[in-house]
Structure 1
Amino acid sequence: MTTGTASDTTSGAASDTMSGAAREAAPDVRELRRFNRFYTNLIGALDYGRHLYTPFTLTEARVLYEVAHHERVDAADLRASLSLDAGYLSRLLGKFEDRELITRGKSEQDPRRQRITLTDGGREAAGLLEERSQDAAGSLLEQLPAGDRARLTDAMRTIRALLGEGAEQPSGDRAPQVTLRTTGPGDLGWMVERNAALYAAEYGFDLSYEALVARIIAEYAEGFDPRWDRTWIAELDGRRAGAVMCVRDGRPGVARLRLLLVEPDARGHGIGRQLVDACVEFARGAGYGEMVLWTNSVLGAARSIYQRAGFELVSEAAHHSFGQDLVGQDWRLAL
């Protein structure tokens, strides 16, 4: 009985400690864990194979994805990028090799490293996984109206931006090159086209938004003064991937940031941050005393970039524009 009593006491103490820790957890910690439980259940992460009707676990599917989507992948890259135990990864790759999904050989760059290559069967399996994953994601999204889909995708970009993105590529891959430049022939027209297309696709904006962007661009081109105005084009590996403008606001000493844009497939490389930083640095160098901008609350990722740059929200108001009910926001940065 003495032993049983001690065991019960220890168990009770541990239970009380765990309950106390749960009660003391901050609200944001509880909310993050609640979201994790919801999302893993939603996408079937706990029973991934049955969810997508495949023989692969979630980890196995992710390894296949990495090998299929990168030209050169070494085992060490997979271990680092996916934070996998070396022994576990070795057994997983051995299983793939036995099923003739991959081959393993020495890396051409470093014979000490093991190069992983998909077989024809591996490419077929990876393709099937990709198709079924896209279908599953599409089924989730098709239940939502366009406006809610835009809010959801914007929120997911915000999560990636705030918690850090960059683990999707094995470390052996060359990092894409981001460069900023001023505008050349055709760039302003490209900004009108891309703003109109992206905001229509992601937020359901109508033709009136394209008209607004065209007016902003036309006014900039007609009244351009290099002392006070500047536009930057961001390139990712030599292709246009984003843009932003710094223009006179009309009030003495005030600059306005306008038309920040980053292409969807170029997000996660810090392009938005670099564009905003360039705008702020130019405004300071030109002698402006403050910089302002107007945006809408649905643009969560952009607002995160503005906050990191030091902008402060000064006012907001509901409005109906571009075919949508929106909440407009005015932001300010003292220079």
Structure 2
Amino acid sequence: MIRSIRNASRGLVRELGFLEPTLAGTDLAPSAVHALIEIEAHPAITAGMLCTLLSLEKSSVSRLVRKLVDAGEVKEESSNGDGRTKCLSLTAKGQGTVAAIHAFATSQVAAALSRLQVTDREAVLAGLRTYTNALHAGRTDTGRIDRPAVTIESGYRSGMIGRSTEMHAAFYRRVGFGAYFEAQVAAGLAAFVQRLDKPVNGLWSAVESGRIVGSVAIDGEDLGAGLAHLRWFIVDEGQRGGGTGRRLLSEALSFCDRTGFTETHLWTFKGLDAARHLYEANGFALVDEQPGRQWGEEVTEQRFVRKAA
């Protein structure tokens, strides 16, 4: 994991152009580009504040500011008549340079994002934020980084079919499920979302920083009157053990209780002990177990049933 992250980090640095002597289509060094952006973003910023934002030594920032002033990009003004404190701001030339930097960077990022699915774009943003915060915490010794809050959202969400299918495929390939299984999940879920207007059907997503990290559905039609079918219950690998699965299942079962189902059924297979423990903790009991191949590979299929209280 560590080696892979380091390799990815080096690749990112190269692709963004940080190994070049200049950056973002300018004739400026990377540190100067970052300084101009921070000066634009923070009116009346001082050199001391710039040191903190850029994580650079005072002497380095002093030389950097002097070069930008000499180049006509930045101007220094006394703060409220105090000659000892200088506030930095962009000159007209500096404003033009920063506008060009933003245009270059926006074009660069937009071109990369255009090659990604919407859910992948959200994953990139969440991952970069989390990793950057973790690096900062490590450098400043501020402790562990709290994960972004996970919300449970009801109903169809854009990208949900593909994302749920992706999570299922990633989890179940460890037991040999392949293309047939993935196609069955995608087709079944795609058909189901067309029936969400029926009051006996429900769908929930766990969402972290705009990215779907879990799903579950209650199909109130396919087993007959009064029977609920719990389907497509999956949680992303990074969420397992953190309570997201319990929250999703709780939402689904609360819906079953409100709707008045007499029983809730689910099908799984032998060997998924953590999932079985969760089911049994929520009132499900194993009622049937036999060999089957409904997912393309032979496994010991299990049916659990939860009866209404």
TM normalised by structure 1 equals: 0.46
* Higher RCO (Cα < 8 Å, 6 or more apart): 1
